[in-house]
Amino acid sequence: MNTRTMHSKNTNIAVPKDKLMEDLRLVVADAEELLRATANQAGEGAAAARARIQDSLQTVKGRLSAAETAVIERSQQAVKDTDQYVHDNPWQAVGISALAGVLVGILIARR
């Protein structure tokens, strides 16, 4: 896998996953708040709905935790791969870094 492909995959995946994780955390927090707010509601239907929501929340929390762990593991692996690449190809890494610096400098100078 070349550097460009590895970098673009990690960047393209990381941003939506981070956003998805944050959105899921907000949904879980909102659902928990809804459960607390409706705790005093009586009735068979309300109790059954609360039970289903609590089960769903536990499932989502488990999946969210697993997804977060997977993202952390992939990120750590990407760091290791990058470190290995830099050690194997130091001059290419220096060249890529210099090119990135020049491009950032050009973009900053335009403003």
pLDDT the model gives residue 1: 44
Contact assessment for residue 57 and residue 32, using Cβ atoms and an 8 Å cutoff: yes
Q: Give the residue from 53, 21, 28 showing the smallest Cα distance to 38.
A: 53
Residue 104 has pLDDT above 90, yes or no: yes
Average pLDDT in the 56-74 region? 83
So what's the pLDDT on residue 105? 94
Which structure tokens are listed for 101? 């610096």
User: Quick one: pLDDT at residue 25?
Assistant: 77
Asked if pLDDT for residue 110 goes beyond 90, the answer is no
pTM over 0.85: no
Question: What's the pLDDT score for residue 86?
Answer: 87
Among residues 96, 98, 92, 12, the alpha carbon closest in space to that of 106 is found at 98
Residue 68 predicted with pLDDT over 70? yes
Greater pLDDT, 63 or 15: 63
Round to whole Å and give the CA distance between 30 and 85: 43
CA atoms 3, 76, 16, 110: torsion sign? negative
Q: What's the pLDDT tens digit per position in 3-48?
A: 444 444 444 555 666 777 777 777 777 777 777 777 777 677 667 7
